[in-house]
Amino acid sequence: MSPARNGRRRLATPRGLTVAAGLLLAASLAACGPADTGLQRDTARQLQERVLGVSQAAAGNDLAAALSALDSLESDVAAEVGKGNVSEERRRSIMTAAAAVRADLTAAKANADAAAAKAAEDAAAQKQAEADATKAAPAPVAPAPAEGKGNDGKGKGKNTG
């Protein structure tokens, strides 16, 4: 089933990934008001900095760094849950958003890696084709002068012999 038919849309560009990372994760962290949000204010700031790291790496088309930053975010969430700074409900919300971003980043990285491998393969094939063409083409040989057609000092049409 295509992404359009199942209602999910994959973001293929780093800019789209940045938007996805920012929106999904920031939405999970945004409600840090005075009401009980399941997330302490200082913890929210720290996690938002991690979200920014994911977004910046994705925007810079450094998908490996974005995935690494996402790993750090998830580790921080787990640590903060252990300290009682993030509720279980908030943890689930953040991790669900993080999983969606991870899926997009992983797909984009796989596409980028495949494109890089294809480009390297094409370059190697082109280089090999050029090398084969150089070996196959014989060096041009200058024609030897024809015998008996030179001007041996004799006059035109005169036979002095």
14-57 pLDDT, tens digit per residue, is 556 655 666 566 655 554 444 466 778 888 889 889 988 998 99
pLDDT level of residue 6 (50, 70, 90 thresholds): very low
- Enter the pTM of the model: 0.60
Q: Is 140 contained in some domain?
A: no
* Alpha helix segments (H runs only) across 5-160: 14-29, 41-59, 63-83, 88-136
Domain count for the chain: 1
Tokens of 29: 């962290």
Q: Is 136 contained in some domain?
A: no
Q: Is 138 contained in some domain?
A: no
CB environment 144-158: b (16+ within 10 A), e (fewer): eeeeeeeeeeeeeee
Tokens of 68: 């690494």
Q: Is 135 contained in some domain?
A: no
Mean predicted lDDT score pLDDT of the chain: 77
Q: Is 24 contained in some domain?
A: yes
Q: Is 99 contained in some domain?
A: yes
Query: How far is residue 6's CA from residue 23's CA, in Å, rounded to a whole number?
Result: 21
For the segment 149-161, what is each residue's pLDDT rounded down to a tens digit? 555 555 565 555 5
Q: Is 102 contained in some domain?
A: yes
Q: What is the pLDDT of residue 118?
A: 94
Q: Is 153 contained in some domain?
A: no
Q: What is the pLDDT of residue 5?
A: 40
C-alpha distance from residue 37 to each of 45, 46, 49, 85 (Å): 14, 16, 18, 10
Domain residue limits at 78: 14-127
Q: What is the pLDDT of residue 4?
A: 42
Cβ within 8 Å of residue 151, ≥6 positions away:
none
